[in-house]
């Protein structure tokens, strides 16, 4: 039997392991951590009897590979994800919300109904959407989203109230730095991917229960060997048991910096490319609202007006999502500054913009290398490191940004390459 060793049990490694078992491989899966999920998992800390997460993740309806993987391992996405039409509105009603209509009528109606936008805002955005569709949602590969917005003639208000929050939610990178090419690819899949493709899919359970734990159960049931809490070293990769040969392959599904370390001596060119990648931090500030009259936010996810002094871009109502009444999870993408300072600023920002009193900082989670900085200058390494030696993850060459869907697709696609061995 063909033998595959996978180093890393994050979403990419789990997706690769499930796909490889389905292809008839004997799989050994390793991870230094004692729990699967990588950077998208639950924490040991809890609130109201439910775990906190190390970050907030939102899928969209176009993320079909992740949804299919959930079904493969016995999960029902409709019970674990709240499906809502795309809504990037702020608490004051500004921004865009799409009605529950088929594309492209949902986009047209959403733009025309945007109450805070004047006719110039709407006309220029509609013209830009038409222009992007005519171009096949492609542009100069060197452009940032800010340059794309300027070239498309978008108004400052539309950029601030739609493009910036959409860019941060999809690419975790500010408009001034984000790749317009990748941004348009996500837009294309969301707007042209079929019914529900632009819908927001917000987890109603903790991240470990959303996929990683079920993948682990499925792998155990189907004969895979899982080794959690076991660190793989560069020396291990050079040992006889890890040597690549016709009936054996190795996949590095660990973070890019770890993959770079493991391959520094044996595959220096690939290692150096992986090591050059830059990442962005994401901070999640958990606030507990103890006001007696607080009954939750008006919607499960609300956009926030953000700047240097008001760093959070979105707030999630965990009471509505995961039965944690009074708990708000505030997300700061491309996070800058010290943990405590960020938390205090977010606390003041939410109090001011949402009109809430009695907000207490419960927990602040900082992921310093949470996501690949999705810039036009980033050159991602290829999945193939050497014959029978591969890598997968949200940093590997591919059309998607550093998202759960990007990780899952990468894991599944590397197994497709194994078919040719």
Closest CA to 28 of 1, 4, 2: 4
pLDDT tens, residue by residue, 274-312: 999 999 999 999 999 999 999 999 999 999 999 999 999
CATH number at residue 270: 3.50.50.60
| Lookup: tokens for 114 | 């945007």
Q: Are residues 272 and 380 in the same domain?
A: yes
Is the domain of 122 the same as that of 192? yes
User: Is residue 77 in some structural domain?
Assistant: no
Residue 74 lies in a domain: no
| Residue 23 sits in the same domain as residue 120 | no
According to the model, what pLDDT value does residue 239 have? 87
Residues 6+ apart with CB under 8 A from 77: 67, 70, 71, 201
Q: Can you give the pLDDT at residue 219? A: 98
Domain containing residue 176: CATH number:
1.10.3110
**Any domain includes 174:** yes
Ramachandran sector of residue 296 (left: φ over 0; alpha: ψ -120 to 50; beta: rest) = left
| Domain housing 317 | 279-372
Whether 8 maps to a domain, the answer reads: yes
* Boundary of a domain, candidates 144, 179, 198: 198
Residues 270, 380 within the same domain = yes
**pLDDT, position 386:** 94
Residue by residue, pLDDT tens for the chain (421 residues) are 899 999 999 999 999 999 999 999 999 999 999 999 999 999 999 999 999 999 999 999 999 999 999 999 999 999 999 999 999 999 999 999 999 888 888 999 999 999 899 999 999 999 999 999 999 999 999 999 999 999 999 999 999 999 999 999 889 899 999 999 999 999 999 887 888 999 999 999 999 999 999 999 999 999 999 999 999 999 999 888 787 777 899 999 999 999 999 999 999 999 999 999 999 999 999 999 999 999 999 999 999 999 999 999 999 999 999 999 999 999 999 999 999 999 999 999 999 999 999 999 999 999 999 999 999 999 999 999 999 999 999 999 988 899 999 999 999 999 999 987 7
pLDDT for res 400: 87
Residue 168 lies in a domain: yes
267 and 286 within one domain:
no
Q: What sign for the dihedral angle of Cα 134, 138, 144, 147? A: negative
Assigned domain for 242 exists: yes
Q: Do 8 and 142 belong to one domain?
A: no
The answer to whether residues 321 and 203 touch, using CB atoms and an 8 Å cutoff, is yes
Residues 222 and 194 reside in one and the same domain: no
Q: Are residues 19 and 151 in the same domain?
A: no
- Say yes or no: 409 and 267 in one domain: yes
In terms of domains, do 270 and 294 share one?
A: no
147 phi and psi angles, rounded to 5 deg: -65, -40
105-141 confidence digits (pLDDT tens): 899 999 999 989 999 999 999 999 999 999 999 999 9
d(CA 415, CA 223): 17
Tokens at residue 73, please? 């391992």
Does residue 326 lie within any of the structural domains? Answer: yes
> Contact, 361 vs 340, CB < 8 A?
no
- Identify the burial level of 2 via C-beta atoms within 10 angstroms of its C-beta, where 0-12 means exposed, 13-18 middle and 19 or more buried: middle
The residue out of 161, 181, 198 marking a domain boundary is 198
CATH number at residue 292: 3.90.660.20
Number of folded domains in the chain?
3
- Are residue 29 and residue 142 in the same domain, yes or no? no
Q: According to the model, what pLDDT value does residue 134 have? A: 94
Last residue of one domain, picked from the residues 175, 198, 221 = 198
Q: Considering the domain boundaries, does residue 231 fall inside one?
A: yes
Are 261 and 388 found together in one domain? yes
């Amino acid at each position: 039997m063909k033998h595959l060793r996978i180093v890393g049990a994050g979403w990419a490694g789990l997706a690769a392991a499930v796909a490889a078992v389905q292809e008839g491989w004997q799989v050994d899966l390793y991870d230094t951590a004692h729990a699967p999920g990588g950077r998208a998992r639950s924490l040991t800390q809890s609130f109201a009897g439910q775990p906190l997460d190390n970050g907030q993740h939102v899928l969209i309806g176009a993320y079909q590979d992740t949804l299919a993987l959930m079904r493969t391992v016995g999960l029902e996405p409709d019970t674990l994800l709240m499906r809502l039409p795309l809504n990037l509105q702020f608490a004051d009603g500004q921004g865009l919300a799409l009605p529950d209509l088929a594309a492209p009528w949902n986009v047209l109606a959403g733009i025309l109904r945007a109450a805070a936008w004047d006719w110039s805002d709407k006309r220029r955005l509609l013209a830009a959407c038409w222009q992007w569709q005519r171009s096949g949602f492609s542009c100069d590969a060197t452009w940032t989203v800010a340059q794309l917005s300027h070239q498309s003639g978008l108004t400052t208000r539309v950029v601030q109230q739609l493009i910036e929050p959409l860019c941060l939610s999809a690419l975790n990178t500010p408009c001034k730095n984000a790749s317009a090419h990748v941004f348009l690819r996500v837009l294309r899949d969301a707007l042209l991917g079929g019914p529900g493709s632009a819908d927001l899919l917000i987890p109603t359970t903790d991240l470990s229960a959303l996929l990683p734990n079920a993948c682990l159960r499925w792998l155990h049931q189907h004969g895979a060997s899982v080794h959690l809490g076991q660190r793989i070293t560069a020396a291990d990769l050079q040992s006889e048991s890890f040597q690549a040969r016709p009936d054996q392959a190795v996949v590095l599904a660990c973070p890019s910096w770890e993959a770079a370390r493991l391959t520094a001596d044996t595959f220096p060119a690939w290692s150096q490319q992986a090591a050059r990648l830059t990442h962005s931090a994401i901070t999640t500030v958990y606030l507990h609202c103890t006001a007696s009259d607080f009954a939750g936010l008006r919607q499960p996810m609300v956009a926030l007006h953000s700047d240097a002094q008001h760093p959070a871009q979105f707030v999630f109502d965990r009471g509505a999502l995961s039965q944690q009444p009074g708990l708000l999870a505030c997300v700061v993408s491309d996070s800058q500054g010290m943990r405590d300072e960020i938390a205090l600023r977010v606390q003041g920002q939410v109090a001011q913009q949402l009109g809430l009193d009695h907000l207490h900082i419960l927990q602040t989670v900082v992921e310093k290398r949470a996501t690949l900085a999705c810039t036009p200058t980033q050159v991602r390494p290829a999945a193939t490191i050497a014959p029978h030696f591969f890598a997968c993850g949200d940093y590997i060459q591919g059309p998607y940004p550093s998202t759960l869907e990007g990780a899952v697709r990468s894991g599944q696609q590397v197994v497709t390459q194994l078919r040719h061995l």
